Chain A
């Protein structure tokens, strides 16, 4: 199906474990983004990518790692999950710098 998808949609993990959240888009958009959404904070940018193999930090990058070996995929890894990383994570993509961001449905992550 065309669009932007995220997997898994729900994930429960334990402190210290590594977790990878997947994001896939079918539009060949250049830009991709990872946000986290927390009550009282709105959405905050974790990392973004302007093209394959080009990534940059956002507002809250600590504890997260990203890669972008292919244009259509932008996985987000929590190398050692902490309770403070319990959140809803949204992936987004965008064709160009002045275009619209399209958001995925989100992944709800709980770290116990």
Chain B
């Protein structure tokens, strides 16, 4: 069965520090992979996506993610976090964007 695990419910980092949010998945084949961000009271915004090709994907707002097939992971990274990055982050996997399974999210707090 398909599943997505985001093992960290809540992460706190200092502004300027690096960030890595973890995402592991279980899927029958190589899925499409997505990271979304949700600010309080808002809908979800796509940060980046992986369909095929280069396993290091660049997204908006300085985020990147690396697909590691051997580890069934798609971790999100940012070298230097800004206070405006505080939000909830969701990893999603699926056979296509019409068949997505979302993780339970990781809430990011940024301290000055």
Chain A residues packing against B (C-beta within 8 Å): 4, 31, 33, 35, 40-45, 48, 50, 59, 90, 92, 94, 97-106
Contact = CB atoms under 8 A, between A and B. Distances in A.
Interface residues of B, number: 22
The 4 A-B pairs with the shortest beta carbon distances in the complex, nearest first, are A103-B43, A42-B102, A43-B102, A103-B44
B51 interface: yes
Given A42-B90, A50-B98, A98-B97, 12 more contacts: A31-B98, A41-B104, A43-B90, A94-B97, A97-B96, A98-B32, A100-B97, A101-B100, A103-B36, A103-B44, A103-B45, A106-B41
Contacts of A45: 100
Interface string B31-47: 01000100001111110
Contacts of B104: 40-42
Contacts, number: 55
